[in-house]
Amino acid sequence: MEKRALGTSGLEVSALGLGCMGMSFGLGPAADKQEMIQLIQKAVERGVTFFDTAEVYGPFTNEELVGEALAPFRGQVTIATKFGFDIDLATGQNRGGLDSRPEHIKAAVEASLKRLRTDYIDLYYQHRVDPNVPIEDVAGVVKDLIQAGKVKHFGLSEAGVDVIRRAHAVQPVAALQSEYSLWWREPEQEIIPTLEELGIGFVPFSPLGKGFLTGEIDEHTEFDKSDFRNTVPRFAPEARKANQALVNLLGRIAQEKNATPAQVALAWLLAQKPWIAPIPGTTKLHRLEENLAAASLELSADTLQELEQAAAQITVQGDRYAPAQQKMINR
């Protein structure tokens, strides 16, 4: 698979990574661990070198899964994980708030290293901006961890422009991870121009709109009671019905290209900037293969313009998070 440089940091990854969260957490019951280990290893065989997890996914179980799956390939892959939630590191209890105090980060990195079965983390993101800790202090701690060899690169997730600039001035930020797709385009306003200016890579999560852009979800789809999409306004049945117009658009282009809606959505993202590396997640091998095939789907300038013009006519309905989560983003 084609490789991409995440900005000017020197970090090079496969054009498409693999978001591992849903294997353990967030989208219904955890999948079978051995099956997920096999899936991650099959991704490596197919050229994926970029794997995304976080301590809060579980908590802890997803990092353990990723660590076990990638141990035989450690030198060939880039592992990204995240810190910043208020988690009891002894019990795994998620207390629901944020904690990016320097002493907590130092303890969190040691715990993540053990679970990931490694002595360094390739890309260490602050998962959400903590309003109680100056970002300069956070960047300073990660700088120390980089100097100690425990972390290779510093990342931010869902941070606003001011925070990105302030962090980058203390320790260069290699990548920003935030939601970006055809149905969430807010990053185009300020975030992407800032990343381009500063030489920071962009890692879009939910590049398939938490599954919606695959065309496999409609207003009648019912999610497991443990699936967080039940709390997302954008997934209310009436919002799904309204947002179907975007899926129909992708379906139309996909038919012309002998592709799937998911492949068109991912190819569109890859065409936006050469330093964007999306991380679609899945628990199914046939979906992994479908997603990875998007890396070789070329969308012509005419097709991109057609998508652009048609998408501009569609107003997406519903917030992308419930109010409590919404408060934690873009600080």
Q: Point out the residues that are catalytic.
A: 57
For residue 300, how many other CB atoms are within 10 A of its CB? 10
What does DSSP say about strands 50-52 and 78-83: parallel, antiparallel, or unpaired?
parallel
Residues 6+ apart with CB under 8 A from 83: 55, 100, 104, 105, 108, 109, 112, 124, 125, 126, 127
Half-sphere exposure of 192 (CA within 13 A, CB side): 16
Cα–Cα distances (Å) from 60 to 21, 130, 155, in that order, read: 11, 20, 20
**Phi, psi of 41, rounded to the nearest 5 degrees:** -70, -35
**How far is 50 from 79, CA to CA, in rounded Å?**
6
